Amino acid sequence: MDFQLKFSKDITGCGDIFIGDHGISRTESPEVHTWHLGSAQVHQRSIEDVFPVFGEEIPQLVSHSLRSSYEHTRKNPIDWSSALGPQRFARSLKASFSSSSSSIERIIKSRYAETLIKGREILTRLQPALVDLEAFREVTASSNLGYASTFEPGPDGFARPIRYSHSTSTGRLTVASGPRILSLPKGERRIIRSRWEQGQVFMVDFVSLEPRVMLLLTRDEAPKDIYEAMRTELDLPDATRARLKLATISSLYGSKSQDPALVAAVNRFFRSSEVGRRHLSSEEVCNLYGRKLSPEEASLRLSHFVQSTAVDVALLGFSSLLKLLPGGCIPLFLIHDALVIDVPPDCLSEFPQDMSIRIEPLGEFYLSSKKLQADI
């Protein structure tokens, strides 16, 4: 597959530059995929975000030591075409492209590349959130944690853009830069408000995401209410929902339980042994889509497999969901298996409370929505 590499103006200091088999250019070729290096924006093919997932080294246009020596003596952005000279600058561009090309070719050939790039579409669509200044001041004055302070608005009233990283052991997202939404306590989410006077901020959650992933690994479909189905199938009419959820956590994540008999029954419900035979019997562990996993202990193989697969299901699902929602809705944040969306007033009546979406190769997943404030 042909591709080109775009060096952002922040890296070159002299504007955006494209390089590919066609040579070096100031204009993008629309006929090939573009991989982005050094862009402040999030792209589906951002080298800084994608390369670490596959263990590939991020190319450097200028060595760290040389960059540091220049930055130490200059305050303004460095025009590397002038600092290095035209010929040396061109050689650096070509060397970076050559290094990247080898990595990109390996990534493209991997089984996981298509899923990761497709799922990253939702990350490219996120826009900054408007901050309720009064609530922000109240929360930051009373909170000792400091997470809310990362939402400090700019002159326009909006928080900084957020950038996530996939580089955890399972691919579960972390915040690389911007508002620390994953750590912000529920009670402090009131600092987020709609950009429209009569608009509303919603959270759209997958219903029982990881248990549903586990069920669909061995069944053609999974009921919307998994815990009620569990109670019926296991013939446990007196088992409370809370008790079944605790047993499910122990089943999926291998945590200790004071109710081992119930955990064993839940394992039968999820057909854990069959999942192990189908997906965890080889020496190398990958999630359902091909992401390589490295659990430190054998007991973590199942939990890492389910968690990592669920991450990709959520990203693929939210990327597809945006096409199904009323026009004008703006996605703001991902909170693991939930998407925070700013909904304009003229879309509120159309915005669904419950919805479903099919995600291959597993099947039907259910989602529910509620106002962000209702989760506090």
Query: What 3-state DSSP class applies to 62?
Result: coil
Count of residues making up the chain: 376
Q: What percent of the chain has pLDDT over 90?
A: 80
Q: What is the mean pLDDT of the chain?
A: 93
Q: Pick left, alpha or beta for residue 55 (phi over 0 → left; psi -120 to 50 → alpha; otherwise beta).
A: left
How confident is the model at residue 137, as a pLDDT? Answer: 94
How confident is the model at residue 75, as a pLDDT? Answer: 65
CATH annotation of 126-208+311-375: 3.30.70.370
Q: What percent of the chain has pLDDT over 70?
A: 98
User: What are 219-254's pLDDT values in tens digits?
Assistant: 999 999 999 999 999 999 999 999 999 999 999 987
Which of 90, 329, 287, 14 is closest to 169 using CA atoms?
287
Q: And the tokens for 357?
A: 């979406």
Ordered by start, the domain boundaries in the chain are 3-109, 126-208+311-375, 211-289
User: What are 53-86's pLDDT values in tens digits?
Assistant: 999 999 999 888 888 887 776 667 789 999 899 9
Which of 82, 196, 74, 64 is closest to 129 using CA atoms?
196
User: What are 340-373's pLDDT values in tens digits?
Assistant: 999 999 999 999 999 999 999 999 999 999 998 7
Check whether 31 has a pLDDT greater than 90.
no
* Radius of gyration, CA atoms only, the chain: 24
pTM: 0.93
User: What are 313-343's pLDDT values in tens digits?
Assistant: 999 999 999 888 888 999 999 999 999 999 9
Check whether 375 has a pLDDT greater than 80.
no
Query: What 3-state DSSP class applies to 367?
Result: strand
